[in-house]
Structure 1
Amino acid sequence: MLAAGIGAGAINAVVGSGSLITFPTLLAMGYPPVVANVSNNVGLVPGGVTGVLGYRRELDGQGRRLLRFGTASVLGSLIGGLLLLLLPETAFRIIVPVLIGLACVLVVAQPALNRRLADRRKNPHHGGPLLWLGILGAGMYGGYFGAAQGVVLIGLLGVFLDDGLQRINAAKNVLSLLVNTTAAVLFVFIAPVDWTAVAVVAAGTTIGGYVGARVARRLPPPVLRAFIVTVGVVAIVMLVREGV
């Protein structure tokens, strides 16, 4: 479980699909699905903090943008967390793989789209209302399940914002942290949490988040883009195979 936490923290800092490691690990160790999902979410928060700290240079000058986006992430996470407790798990089985697939396409097409949309952007610094609504939706997904929410966020931010991939990845880390923290606070009060699992996963993600951020910051944009898409494709295959 500790090793899974380290791997998840590192991948979350790079792209954001660490739950694909920790969630199946908790299931394999005998935790019920809802308990595993909730405990996993809470345990990922410390790794999110170290991932953000590792990207602090790329966050310079993004304060106002992140305040705007952060409200959408927090609100979306609250809605998604409530949906997790109220809806059957089959509700997102179709939409989640499609959403991740679309995000992968956006990540691949980002450079070309940026060039074509450069002269048409009305809000190159904060993306306008469509991006805010997209981040709200990503927050709902993150609060509900969360695997590969980073791929979705990078796809959205990359298309709507005129900025470099590393700065976009830094913003993604902050928004993912807000989503996970909001859902974690909600789950602590109204959902079954296994604190032993949380402690072990948290210890691993704390280490992995910092290491992953240091590695990711040194990757050239094409390599980082290829890694993001690879993780997204793996996420789709795993989610379809497991039925989310």
Structure 2
Amino acid sequence: MTLSTILLLFVAGLLSGIVNAIAGGGTFLTFGALTFAGLPPISANATSAIGQIPGYITSTLAYWADIRQSWRSAVALAVISVIGASIGSLILLSLDNPAFATLVPWLLLAATALFAAGPWLKPAGVEERPQSGGSTMTSKITQFVTSIYGGFFGAGMGVMMLATLGLTEGGGYHRLNALKNMLSIVIAAVAIVIFASGGVVAWLEAAAMVPGVAIGGWLGVWTARRVPQGAVRAFVVAVGLFLAGYYFMRG
């Protein structure tokens, strides 16, 4: 790798960690940077999953007090996420790069649309609804579907989880964001094991991203309490649309 490529991947990882900690959607940045670095789409997707996990860990540690208050929901949804992520990751490995490349722009458009619609997907009154001791069946089913998507294609997974958790779980935004970050660790860890066994991970590119993602994940929790989410959301939507257009033109 050239120095400029290393710098590109580090900066993409840093911004991705910040964005993921605030609202999700940071995978748009790492996936895009890896494709611009020359990786084929399946390898870029798998390597992006590797790069995200340090940010998820640091964000989860920063939110640990919130997670301890909902540990029953966290454990139940984590088990569901292991199963779903395994299915999604195995589906990805069953495809070849040309087949996956035809799906990428549509997946990016769908993830971008979901991200943009995130504020309207959360029902009124969710902030006031008390959190339960455990997750409902609806919550488990929606998390299962979300984790299949996350194992298959990470972009937009965070916002999808925020939307579904907002619809099915009680409590405020920071509780939901803490739960989303912890479940993202589970999904990414499962995907890493499966992708590594499939030989599709670009480890040098992942190593260039990891320090930036870890730093960004920690900074993102601080930023989440101070920067307007609307500004971050607009930035991520712009990146998603740009990448979708890029892949449509490449196809």
TM-score range, shorter chain: 0.7 to 0.9
2:57–2:185 CA contact under 8 A, matched in 1: yes
User: How many corresponding residue pairs?
Assistant: 236
1:7–1:205 CA contact under 8 A, matched in 2: yes
Unpaired segments of 5 or more residues in structure 2?
1-8
1:110 maps to 122
Across the aligned residues of Structure 1 and Structure 2, the Cα RMSD in angstroms comes to 2.7
- Report the alpha carbon displacement of residue 138 of structure 1 after superposing the two structures with TM: 0.9
1:125–1:162 CA contact under 8 A, matched in 2: no
Equivalent residue in structure 1 for 2:213, among 205, 210, 233: 205
Unpaired segments of 5 or more residues in structure 1?
none
1:181-220 aligned within 5 A: 181-216=189-224, 218-219=225-226
After the TM superposition, which segments of 4 or more aligned residues of structure 1 sit over 2 Å from their partners?
Answer: 90-111, 123-127, 226-244
Moved more, 124-133 or 44-53: 124-133
- Report the alpha carbon displacement of residue 2 of structure 1 after superposing the two structures with TM: 0.9
2:53 maps to 45
When normalised by structure 1's length, the TM-score is 0.84
1:237 maps to 241
2:31–2:48 CA contact under 8 A, matched in 1: yes
- Report the alpha carbon displacement of residue 231 of structure 1 after superposing the two structures with TM: 5.7
| Cα-to-partner distance string for 1:46-92 (whole Å, 9 max, x where unaligned) | 12111111111222311110011111211111111111111332457
- Report the alpha carbon displacement of residue 180 of structure 1 after superposing the two structures with TM: 0.8
When normalised by structure 2's length, the TM-score is 0.82
**2:38 counterpart of 1:34:** no
1:49-198 aligned within 5 A: 49-87=57-95, 88-89=99-100, 90=102, 94=106, 97-98=109-110, 101-102=113-114, 104-105=116-117, 107-112=119-124, 114=126, 124=132, 126-198=134-206
Q: Tell me the amino acid that sits aligned with residue 180 of structure 2.
A: K
- Report the alpha carbon displacement of residue 241 of structure 1 after superposing the two structures with TM: 2.2
Q: 1:231 to 1:82 in 2, by over 3 A?
A: farther
User: Structure 1: how far apart are the matches of 2:231 and 2:177?
Assistant: 12
User: Structure 2: how far apart are the matches of 1:210 and 1:111?
Assistant: 29
2:13 maps to 5
Identical-residue share of aligned pairs (%): 29
